[in-house]
């Protein structure tokens, strides 16, 4: 197995790309709201292309956990303690924060009955972006069973099963009766609608050396493959309208894009400042995920409507990104900040260990 410093930069780069995709979705969605709930060609492009982001984060979450097991084994007590500290507490704190924000600032009704409230809270519906954390928690619940798969052939079988399960629950599952179980299984945050991407992360971890070699061989050709996937996505939304991020096509797109990004990194790493920027962005991805809706809301209320033109999209996107980073840096100055936003420590070049696993989510 290769040393951590031989693969972590590629994962940081992939995570940074996913982070940018997610911001594309939410910044462009604000433009949608500012223009009478309509997209133009440019804002629709960024909104739909950004649909690659969430499944990439799911892949990374699975990859890092399974790679950690592959290298260091599995300790169930340490695993759940770590997950509760690094993911559980931030999810709880930010869910409560956004509920208070919705009630006090937006005047929204946040409670109807206990059953609906608890289901919504558990499914990450406290605010529109928190659902991915709920999906990750569901993944943690079955991870002790999944980590028992060690062989490469076992991972091929598991990947095919996950593909079938994912496609069924996204495209075919339509219960005729209503119950608590069916209500949960129809939620957008139910794990069965995302299982393929987490399992592909495990598949990636157990085939990492082979996939990394393929990525390195394609090198600059990765940019062509990446661009081709973007063109295909444009064709998809032009043909079908809005495209979901867990659609069946992404079960092909995301594995191909992962290899393409590994290839892209080979040339990008030669530009020192770009490599450092994407590493920083990858490190802060969880924090950006948690705070960026608040930043978007701030600019939505503080900037005049005339500022939200297509020409300003790059500037406002940059403002949201930079402000989110500054907010995270401010949070890091607070006591017990690790319970609010988990930021993995920068790796040492000589380190020979698996990187810290944190949420790489939308």
Give the C-alpha separation, 241 to 48, whole Å: 9
Per-position DSSP letters for 205-239, written without gaps between them? HHTHHHHHHHHHHHTTHHHHHHHHHHHHHHHHHHH
pTM of the model: 0.90
Residue 350, pLDDT score: 40
- Residue/partner pairs of 24-28 with CB below 8 Å, 24 or more apart: 24/49, 24/50, 24/53, 24/317, 25/50, 25/51, 25/53, 25/362, 26/50, 26/129, 26/292, 26/293, 26/296, 27/296, 27/313, 27/316, 27/317, 27/320, 28/313
Cα 7 from Cα 265, distance rounded (Å): 11
Residue by residue, pLDDT tens for the chain (362 residues) are: 444 444 478 888 999 999 999 999 999 999 999 988 899 999 999 999 999 999 999 999 999 999 999 999 999 999 998 888 888 999 999 999 999 999 998 888 877 788 788 888 999 999 999 999 999 999 999 999 999 999 999 999 999 999 999 999 999 998 877 777 888 888 889 999 999 999 999 999 999 999 989 988 988 999 999 999 999 999 999 998 899 999 999 999 999 999 999 999 988 988 999 989 999 999 999 999 999 999 999 999 999 988 999 999 999 999 999 999 999 999 999 998 888 988 876 555 444 444 444 444 44
pLDDT at res. 346: 58
In this structure, are residues 310 and 45 in contact, taking their beta carbons and an 8 Å threshold? no
Domain ranges of the chain: 4-339
Given a contact cutoff of 8 angstroms between Cβ atoms, the answer to whether 67 and 356 are in contact is no
Residues 6+ apart with CB under 8 A from 295: 320, 323, 324, 327
Q: In sequence order, which ranges of the chain are alpha helices (DSSP H)?
A: 8-34, 41-49, 53-72, 76-83, 89-104, 114-122, 131-146, 152-167, 180-185, 195-206, 208-218, 221-240, 250-268, 272-283, 285-302, 313-331
CB distance 341 to 331 below 8 Å: yes
Coil/strand/helix, residue 132: helix
pLDDT at 4: 41
- Using an 8 Å Cβ cutoff, are 59 and 201 in contact? yes
């Amino acid at each position: 197995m290769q040393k951590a410093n031989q693969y972590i930069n590629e994962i940081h780069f992939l995570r940074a790309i996913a982070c940018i995709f997610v911001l594309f979705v939410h910044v462009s969605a604000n433009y949608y709201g500012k223009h009478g709930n309509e997209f133009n060609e440019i804002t629709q492009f960024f909104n739909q292309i950004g649909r690659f982001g969430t499944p990439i984060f799911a892949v990374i979450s699975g990859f890092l956990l399974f790679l950690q097991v592959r290298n260091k084994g599995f300790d169930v007590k340490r695993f759940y303690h770590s997950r509760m500290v690094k993911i559980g507490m931030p999810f709880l704190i930010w869910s409560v924060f956004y509920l208070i924000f919705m009630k006090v600032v937006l005047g929204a009704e946040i409670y109807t009955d206990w059953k609906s409230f608890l289901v919504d809270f558990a499914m990450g519906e406290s605010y529109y972006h928190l659902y991915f954390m709920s999906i990750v928690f569901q993944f943690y619940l079955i991870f002790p069973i999944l980590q028992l798969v060690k062989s490469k052939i076992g991972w091929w079988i598991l990947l095919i099963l996950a593909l079938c399960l994912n496609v069924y629950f996204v495209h075919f599952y339509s219960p005729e009766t209503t119950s608590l179980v069916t209500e949960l299984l129809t939620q957008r945050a139910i794990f069965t609608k995302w299982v393929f991407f987490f399992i592909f992360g495990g598949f990636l971890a157990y085939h990492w050396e082979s996939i990394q070699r393929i990525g390195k061989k394609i090198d600059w050709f990765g940019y062509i493959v990446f661009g081709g996937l973007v063109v295909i996505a444009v064709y998809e939304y032009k043909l079908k309208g809005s495209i979901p991020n867990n659609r069946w096509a992404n079960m092909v797109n995301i594995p191909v894009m992962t290899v393409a990004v590994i290839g892209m990194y080979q040339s990008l790493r030669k530009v020192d400042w770009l490599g450092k920027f994407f590493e920083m962005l990858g490190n802060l991805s969880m924090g950006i995920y948690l705070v960026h809706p608040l930043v978007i809301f701030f600019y939505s209320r503080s900037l005049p409507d005339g500022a939200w033109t297509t020409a300003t999209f790059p500037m406002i996107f940059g403002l949201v990104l930079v402000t989110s980073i500054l907010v995270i840096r401010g949070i890091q100055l607070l006591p017990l900040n690790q319970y609010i936003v988990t930021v993995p420590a920068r790796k040492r070049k000589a380190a020979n260990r698996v990187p810290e696993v944190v949420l790489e989510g939308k």
